[in-house]
Amino acid sequence: MLTAAVRDLHKCYPKQFITDVRTPCPHLWENNPYVTPLADKDKSVEVIDCEYPLIHQSNTGPWHFIHGFIEFLNKRLGLQIKATDFKGDIHLAAAEKEWISQVQEITKEAVPFWIIAAGGKRDFTIKWWSHERYQAVVDHFQGKIRFVQIGEKGHAHPPLKGVLDLRGKTDLRQLVRLVYNAQGVLCPVTLVMHLAAAVETRPEMPKNRPCVVVAGGREPSQWEAYPHHQFIHMNGSLRCCDNGGCWKSRTVPLGDGDEKDHPESLCVDVVHVRDQKLSFRRRPSDPVPRHALTHASGGKHHDYLPRCLDLISVEEVTRRIGFYFAGGALCHLDKNQITV
């Protein structure tokens, strides 16, 4: 999101600013034409710690995440920056576009593929859809779509069957290049969703990369969704997200001492996907049911889903992916590519 704000600063105020960045993700800024190295100790340089307080109005306001840093810089610098494009600003070098993908390095063939992220960080388990349902989606498209599973090492990404496994095998820049070569993306609300929009597509691809996002009701859809994505949300379908997103962190507590285990950070409408009789609704002040604590401490917290995600079926996700093929934006694998 900050890449978008820096781009829009320079487009709206050309040649008026020189900018450099310090972020935990320097790979996102490689080849960026709006970044110029500046010395930290240069007294003529002003350092700004960027934030996006607009998120606190995201449930009811008509803004996307892309406006967060823009609004902050406008107030901080007294400017009127406008969003110039509905995506982040990631730049690939010409050489990067010519390199074969990690997938082709393994398969030895230039086979179209979809990226799938079927897990996530343990601090926000409320974003996780059912692993079994992701597997069912993969099985549904067997022989039609090649899926490549990704996931950062150390996060929770249980292996899927029938996919090419690149979990823990990509750094951030490699992931950017993988997205560039990808036909589409299937994921929750996460980094790769934003990259799907921000990274340009290959010349033979549609102008905007297909992406299906299993979102549920945690975030307000207008804050996260991109125009060309299939963003499957449940805002307005449940009382807990009938005025935007709930912004909760976890489905059930993990017992790891993190503040996200506190009652106010836990989902209030939980479904046990293996036994619907164990479903429960709770208020933030209520204690967590004993069976939920038992399952979470036993490493089976993935057996629980927020009701907003439980309402999203395998059939709905396969239907949304299918739109891109039925509409002609993409083509399924042909018989010569299926075995690759």
For residue 317, with 0-12 CB atoms within 10 Å meaning exposed, 13-18 middle and 19 or more buried, which class applies?
A: buried
Taking 60 as the threshold, does the pLDDT of residue 276 lie above it?
no
107 and 184 share one domain: yes
Average confidence (pLDDT) over 249-253: 95
Q: Give a yes or no: residue 167 inside a domain.
A: yes
Q: Is residue 88 part of a domain?
A: no
To the nearest 10°, report the CA torsion of 70, 74, 79, 84: 10
**Do residues 184 and 135 share a domain?**
yes
- Is there a single domain that holds both residue 226 and residue 287? yes
Which CATH number covers residue 189? 3.40.50.2000
| Residues 65, 159 within the same domain | no
Provide the pLDDT for residue 293. Answer: 47
Is 9:17 a contact under the CB 8 Å cutoff?
yes
Whether residues 211 and 309 fall in one domain: yes
Domain final position from 11, 44, 77: 77
Ramachandran sector of residue 90 (left: φ over 0; alpha: ψ -120 to 50; beta: rest): beta
> What confidence tens digit (pLDDT) does each residue in 278-310 have?
555 666 556 555 555 444 444 455 689 999 999
The reply to whether 338 falls in a domain is no
* Residue 261 shares a structural domain with residue 128: yes
Q: Is the pLDDT of residue 245 over 70?
A: yes
Q: Is residue 339 part of a domain?
A: no
Summarize pLDDT for 162-200 with one digit per residue, the tens: 999 999 999 999 999 999 999 999 999 999 999 999 999
Give the model's pLDDT for residue 16: 97
Q: Do 68 and 172 belong to one domain?
A: no
Q: Are 140 and 65 in contact (CB under 8 A)?
A: no
Q: What is the pLDDT of residues 139-161, one digit of tens each?
A: 999 999 999 999 998 899 999 99
Full residue range of the structural domain in which residue 51 is found: 2-77
Comparison of pLDDT for 16 and 295, the residue scoring more? 16
83 lies in some domain? no
pTM to 2 decimals?
A: 0.92
Residue 14 CA, chain-centre distance (Å), reads 31
φ/ψ region of 257 (left if φ > 0, alpha if ψ in -120 to 50, else beta) reads: left
In a domain, 336, yes or no: no
Tokens encoding 157: 């990404």
Q: Are residues 54 and 108 part of one domain? A: no
pLDDT digits (tens, 9 = 90+) for 314-338: 999 999 999 999 999 999 998 777 6
> Is there a single domain that holds both residue 215 and residue 72?
no
17 falls within a domain: yes
Whether residue 100 sits in one domain with residue 59:
no
Residue ending a domain, among 16, 51, 77, is 77
Query: How many distinct structural domains can be found in the chain?
Result: 2
pLDDT for 295 equals 46
Establish if 162 belongs to a structural domain.
yes
Residue type, 324: Y
Query: Would you say residue 232 has pLDDT above 80?
Result: yes
In this structure, the answer to whether residues 120 and 53 fall within a common structural domain is no
Q: Are residues 56 and 103 in the same domain?
A: no
| Residues 260-275 pLDDT 10s | 999 999 999 999 886 5
| Averaged pLDDT of the chain | 92
Cα separation of 192 and 208, whole Å? Answer: 14
